[in-house]
Every structure is written in C-alpha cells, then in structure tokens.
A and B are shown apart, each in its own frame.
Chain A
C-alpha cells in the first residue's frame, strides 16, 4: 500500500471549514483513499473514502486531485467536537488482506 504524508497538526476556528491535506504520490490505480478520525481515547471512526472522484457524505467531503497524488478532507463547518487525530490511509481495492496501515495522522484542534 502506498505511503501517505500529512501535516502533524492544524488549527481551525469553530464554524469555519477545516481543510486537511494528504499526499500520496505513490498511489496506484487500484488503491482507495480512506479517512478515519480518532477522538481522544476512542476507537477510530470512519469518515469517507474515494477512488478518483470527489465524494461527499454527511460528515465531510473528499477532494482527490486529477493525478490522484494528493487529496483534501473538508469538514465544512468545524465544531469543537471535531477536535481529533485525522488519518489518511491508502489501501488496495483487492487482495487478500484489508488491513489498514495508519501513519501519525494530523491532530486537528478546533478553537472557539
């Protein structure tokens, strides 16, 4: 699975959009981009995933560049409860194992 690079930490004002970048320059054609977040002392929470098209759900939007070498997770109106560590993970679509390889993630601090 391709490696991802994320900033270590970011701040965002409450009510503003939080844009979390992720670089995955070695991604291959059969790999998805997944985003999870982990609020302190809880299990990781699935947010969204995509292959090449932009995706949106009730939690967030995922923008993937045309060359698929980077992506941005957008939380449109961040709240204090969105303070968490956000993980960007690239995983193959097929293959025997679906294990997730987590990096250090981005610690997002939403401030009032």
Chain B
C-alpha cells in the first residue's frame, strides 16, 4: 500500500453514461497525476496538478474528459458520454518535488473501467 487510494476499484458502465473516479493522494504530496493504461501497454500520461492548478493535459484527454483537484487535496476524473474505447485502467499517482528537482511518483491501485 503506497498511501494513494482510488475509488472505485472497478466500474462497469454502458456506453453514453458518465463516470467519475476519485483519487486521494499521500497527504503532503502537492503533485497529482492521472494516467491511463490499456491492455498490454504501459501507462500513458493524461494530466497533472500542482496543488489545485492543472498544469498540463495530454492530447489523449479529449473534451469528454475533465479533471479537478479542488483545494489541492483529492482529485476527480470525469468521463462524459463514455465510449467503448475508454475501457482501460485509470491510474493516479502523487509526488512531492524535493531538492534538486528529484521527484518520485507513488501510484494508487487504479480504477478499472469497462464500457459495454
């Protein structure tokens, strides 16, 4: 257990429905990342926050995806009008940048989404 938690762990939904995932990072970590992982592939970066500011978004993050991190604590990732191609594992990671720019990300267990 890294201290990063994600909820739910599994989600099955029908195409066209909206889903929301939550990530609770390690408490003192000011950076929070979302990644997506499809079967047989390595995780792919989606977006990241420093405190409450969303500083970078991948081109993978279509306009159906939105992420928030109110008050710089937990984060939510919402997918609207889900498509079968959204089926994947959604991973959250948190980190704190140390001296010299070193930063180690710790991952949560992931939320596995299946869109029928």
Q: Which residues of A have CB within 8 Å of B101? A: 92-95
Task: Decide: A46 near B105, CB < 8 A? Known: A93-B100, A96-B55, A99-B48.
Answer: yes
Bound state CA distance, A28 and B51, in angstroms?
29
Q: Which residues of B contact A92 (CB under 8 A)?
A: 101
Q: How far is the CA of A32 from the CA of B103 in the complex (A)?
A: 10
Are A104 and B42 neighbours in the complex by a CB distance under 8 Å? yes
Interface residue total, chain B, C-beta cutoff 8 A? 29
**A23–B60 Cα gap in the complex (Å)?**
27
Chain A CB within 8 A of B65 CB: no
Let me know if A97 and B56 touch, CB within 8 A.
yes
Interface size class for chain A? 20 to 34
Residue in contact with B105 in the complex, picked from A42, A98, A103, CB distance below 8 Å = A98
Contact with A along B40-64 (1 / 0, CB 8 A): 0111110010000001100000000
Residue in A42, A43, A46 whose CB lies within 8 Å of B104: A46
In the complex the two chains form, what is the Cα distance from A43 to B91 in whole Å? 7
Knowing that A32-B102, A49-B104 are A-B contacts, what are 13 other residue pairs whose CB atoms are under 8 Å apart, sorted by A's residue number?
A42-B109, A43-B2, A43-B108, A85-B42, A92-B101, A95-B101, A97-B56, A98-B48, A99-B45, A99-B56, A100-B93, A101-B45, A102-B44
Chosen A-B contacts, 21 in total, with CB atoms closer than 8 Å, are: A32-B102, A36-B107, A42-B110, A43-B93, A43-B107, A46-B104, A46-B105, A46-B107, A49-B104, A93-B102, A94-B101, A95-B101, A96-B55, A99-B33, A100-B33, A100-B35, A100-B93, A101-B45, A102-B44, A103-B42, A104-B41
B: residues with CB less than 8 A from A are 2, 4, 31, 33, 35, 41-45, 48, 55-56, 91, 93, 95, 97, 100-110, 112
